[in-house]
Amino acid sequence: MSKEQTYLSTLCENCICENKSTTAKVFCIDCSKTHPKFCAGCDEVIHSIGFNSKHRRYKIEEYAKVEHDSCCPDHPNKELEFYCQKCKILLCIECVLEKHSEHGPIEIDQALRKEFKYEKLEKSYLVMKNKLKEQTKNYQRLKKSKDSSTKRVRKRVIKSIEEKIEMVQKELESKKIELFEQVEKYLESKNQVISSYLQKVEVIQLALENCHKNLSLFLELEKSTNSIEMAKIALENTKILELIDKRSKEINFKKIGLIVSEDEQNDPKLYFSCVSEAIKDLNIFFTQMYQTIVTEKLKLKGPNMKVIKLEKPMVDENLGGIKKTNSVAYSITVWLKISHIENRWRSVFHNGHTNNERKPGVFITPNSTAIHFRQDTKNKKNEGIDLPTNHCPLDKWFFWAVTVNDRHAIHYINSEKVHEGHFSASPLEPTNHLYLVDPWYNTAEGISIGDMLWIPYPISTQYVESLFIKQQLNYL
């Protein structure tokens, strides 16, 4: 068997002493007089402390290819003749001259007599062996502790998760009860209003019945030519009709949102999707917390088609869940129709006193139907986005809404959220000057708008959906 094969097949000599069979991985030149071949575990323990850490070690497969009997591993053509008392390694003459001349090198024979006494080596070996046993015990204790600790941690984590799930379930149950109560209150308030109006309708119905009776009597009296009785009946009917007219003016179901569309009747989810938003919508309507810019369908023209002064209605922070904010906030909703494409910019509306002041400005991009939305911020001017053409159909009415709450902005097309993002800084406060078609771009050819609202606070997604549903029948 060759020298290489011998080394590749050897076992750890330290393990052999303990009746173990472990393949050797490392060969130590400086331990070659005792047990030069070690497995990875023994090598780590024996060479991790003291002067042993400086021993010269090789992987078995590498060392087997090196001439190592008496030749210096660093200078293969030189014999090992000396021992360094400081570094505790064997040296050739070249090693002494290069690095170890001041370390007190001595000849190997002298070192054997002085340093490598068998009793001393045996004692060192026993110490290391005991340390290895202790380390093995420590390892076993650590492994057992780790397993136990893992079980405890797993148990605590599972318990914590279960507690949080239970807490969330309780919160959900509480929220469900709260929402049910809101629904009941909302329906109760609706029923009270309906009952009040039904009483007025009953009055009108009774008055109409009396009026009909009087007319029948009037026709009978006409045959008998009783003028006085006929005059009395006519006078009574006049009063009845005045009462009917007065009561009719008091009843406006549509104004208070009591007329329900056919879609809403057939889809309870649509009707009751957000009761709190419905309550807020009623509060918004009655307090006029928005400004109507356009009601009818309007074809835009230029230049300077219309200038509108924006008002700033007060917002009650306790009203319908609407909260005051110190930041710039507003919402705009509008129906748009782009009948054809042009190769120039077209202005839809523009808040500001100059072309460079856009708080915000909305344009249609050239050769496209894309909405070009721009808003000045504290960081830079003319900041914003372009809504892609696929969101803005050609020659068809579509509903566009934007809600701005400080740096946060959301865009909707036909009540679907199509873009949500942030400005680089807070937007600048809108002016009270709003152009429909600004005087700088001077055209809005082919653009029509309808039902445009300016709302001085950020509206919710539910409110956007509500407006879209209420208005869409007018734009089909």
pLDDT per residue as tens, the chain (476 positions): 444 445 445 788 888 888 888 888 888 877 765 567 889 988 888 888 777 888 878 887 776 555 455 778 888 777 888 988 888 888 998 899 988 888 889 888 777 767 666 566 667 777 787 888 888 877 777 777 777 777 787 888 888 888 888 888 888 888 888 878 877 877 777 777 777 766 766 766 676 666 666 666 655 655 555 556 656 656 665 665 566 556 555 554 444 444 444 554 444 444 444 334 444 444 444 344 567 887 788 888 766 577 777 766 544 444 333 444 567 888 999 999 999 999 999 999 999 989 899 999 999 999 999 999 999 999 989 998 888 888 899 999 999 999 999 999 999 999 999 999 999 999 999 988 888 888 888 788 899 999 999 888 888 887 888 788 888 888 87
Predicted local distance difference test score (pLDDT) of residue 428: 93
Interaxial angle between packed helices 227-250 and 118-224, expressed in degrees from 0 to 180 and rounded to the nearest 10: 170
Q: Is 203 exposed, middle or buried (0-12, 13-18, 19+ CB in 10 A)?
A: middle
> Which residues 6+ apart lie within 8 Å of 243 measured at CB?
203, 204, 207
Which helix (H) or strand (E) element contains residue 372?
strand 371-375
Rounded distance between C-alpha atoms, residue 454 and residue 106, angstroms: 98
Question: Are 210 and 240 spatial neighbours (Cβ–Cβ below 8 Å)?
Answer: yes
List the structure tokens of 102: 């001041």
Residue 198 DSSP SS3: helix
Predicted local distance difference test score (pLDDT) of residue 211: 63
> Which residues 6+ apart lie within 8 Å of 335 measured at CB?
297, 397, 398, 399, 400, 449, 450, 451, 452, 471, 475
Which residue shows structure tokens 């009574």?
236
Predicted local distance difference test score (pLDDT) of residue 119: 60
Residue 137 DSSP SS3: helix
Selection from 94, 102, 98 nearest residue 73 by Cα? 94
Rounded distance between C-alpha atoms, residue 331 and residue 405, angstroms: 9
Predicted local distance difference test score (pLDDT) of residue 34: 59
Selection from 81, 73, 85 nearest residue 108 by Cα? 81
The CATH code for residues 280-475 is: 2.60.120.200
Where are any strands of DSSP class E within 223-328? Answer: 291-294, 298-299, 306-309
User: Which residue type does 450 have?
Assistant: G
Predicted local distance difference test score (pLDDT) of residue 308: 78
| DSSP symbol at 290 | S
Full-model pTM: 0.42
Rounded distance between C-alpha atoms, residue 426 and residue 340, angstroms: 35
Phi/psi for 80 (5° steps) reads -80, 120
Which residue shows structure tokens 């780590």?
44
Selection from 340, 333, 330 nearest residue 364 by Cα? 340
User: Which residue type does 368 have?
Assistant: S
Question: Are 269 and 462 spatial neighbours (Cβ–Cβ below 8 Å)?
Answer: no
Dihedral sign (CA 319, 321, 323, 329): negative
Residue 393 DSSP SS3: coil
Residue 442 DSSP SS3: coil
Beta bridge partners of residue 350, listed in sequence order = 361, 435
Rounded distance between C-alpha atoms, residue 469 and residue 257, angstroms: 13
Neighbouring C-beta atoms of residue 434, cutoff 10 Å: 22
Question: Are 83 and 108 spatial neighbours (Cβ–Cβ below 8 Å)?
Answer: yes
> Which residues 6+ apart lie within 8 Å of 264 measured at CB?
270, 271, 469
